[in-house]
Amino acid sequence: MTSPTGALTLSVENVSVHFGGLYALSDVSFDVAANEIVGLIGPNGAGKTTAFNVVCGFLRPQSGTVRFPHLGRSDLRPHQLAHAGIARTLQGVGLFERLSVLENVMAGAQSRPGGGVLWGALGLPRSSRGERLLRAEALSNLERLGVAGYAASLPGEIPYGIAKKVAVARALMVQPSLLLLDEPASGLDENELEEFARVIIELGTTTSVLLVEHNMDFVMPLVHRLVVLNFGQVIAAGSPEEISHDETVLAAYLGVDE
């Protein structure tokens, strides 16, 4: 195992989750360092989504801790994440169906100060100026991902690959120190995959990224490090190079699933 250098943004420590008698995660530990792109892989049912849900606070582990060392905080609830600069995209796209693309992205900054109901009702400058700034910022994030042309569309009217980028643009609104991507490659075609990989590499220059993925061709060239889960346990961790030669992994995962 190579241990990451530099400050940690995420540290999952000895986390166990069981549903009834079934151990979805047992004693799982891994880290993500600043500006590091880490892939969480493993066959179906290995516990990837469960691990993500624990990190996000959607699930409370029966034991273990999720720490965010750069913030000095641990075990955050879902609605505290955005405020703390941790953004997550959902499996699928998870956009708000009846809001325009632009408003979907603006929604990413929902937790910023200055959005109080009283200011809003009175229409005070503090509130309307805040909204104007959000608009501009949302547009520039859409531009960064090359999808600003869809700003006025509804999510239902745009191609799937575009919608996924919109979801990332929304995540960027909190200027995240840690970006959690749930199956970013699912449903994308060859061209979109290549483009999306470039986007993630670019994002990795300013933020840490943890992504769950089962498309190996997509993850391998993308990540700095891989953490491999099987039956709820970490069976290997290391560089893509190391993992692709790891006997346990080959037996448990690559040989079976691919």
Partner 1 sequence: MFRTVSQRYPTGFRLVATVVLCAVALAITFVLTPLDDSKLAGGAAMSIVILGLSWLIGWSGQVSLGNAGFMAIGAYTTAIWANHHTTSPIIWSLFLSTVLGGVSGFVLALPATRLRGPYLAGMTLAFSFAVAPLAIDSRSLTGGSGGLFINFLNSPSWFANLFSGSDALVKANAQWPADVAIVVAAVAFFFMANLFRSRTGRALRLVRDNEVAAELVGVNLQRTRTLAFVISAAYAGLGGSMMTLLSGSVTPQTYGLTLSILLLTLMVLGGIGTLSGAVIGGLIYSYSDNIVSIVNKVTGVNPTSTFGANLKGIVFGVLLILTMMLAPRGLVGLGSYLRRLVRR
Ligand X SMILES: Nc1ncnc2c1ncn2[C@@H]1O[C@H](COP(=O)(O)OP(=O)(O)O)[C@@H](O)[C@H]1O
Of 45 and 94, nearer to partner 1 (C-beta) is 94
End-to-end CA distance of the chain: 24
Q: Which residues bind partner 1 (CB under 8 A)?
A: 56, 58, 78-83, 87-88, 90, 94-100, 102-103, 106-111, 115-117, 119-125, 127-128, 130-132, 135, 152, 154, 170, 173-174
215 binds ligand X (CB under 6 A): no
CB 194 → ligand X: shortest distance, Å?
A: 25
45 binds, among partner 1, Mg ion, ligand X, none (CB under 5 to 8 A by kind): ligand X
Among 258, 223, 218, which Cα is nearest to 241's? 223
Radius of gyration of the chain (CA): 19
Of 32 and 166, nearer to ligand X (C-beta) is 32
CB 178 → ligand X: shortest distance, Å?
A: 19
User: Using CB under 6 A, which residues numbered 7 to 36 contact ligand X?
Assistant: 19, 22, 24
Strands 86-89 and 208-212: unpaired
In the sheet where 208-212 sits, what is the strand order? 86-89, 178-182, 208-212, 37-41, 225-230, 233-238
User: Using CB under 6 A, which residues numbered 147 to 176 contact ligand X?
Assistant: none
Contact, 38 vs 240, CB < 8 A?
no
Contacts of 228 (CB under 8 A, 6+ apart): 41, 42, 234, 235, 236, 237, 243, 246, 249, 252, 253
Of 105 and 219, nearer to partner 1 (C-beta) is 105
Contact, 207 vs 197, CB < 8 A?
no
Of 19 and 96, nearer to ligand X (C-beta) is 19
Binding residues (CB under 5 A) for Mg ion: these are: 49
Q: What does the binding site for ligand X look like in residue numbers (CB under 6 A)?
A: 19, 22, 24, 42, 44-50
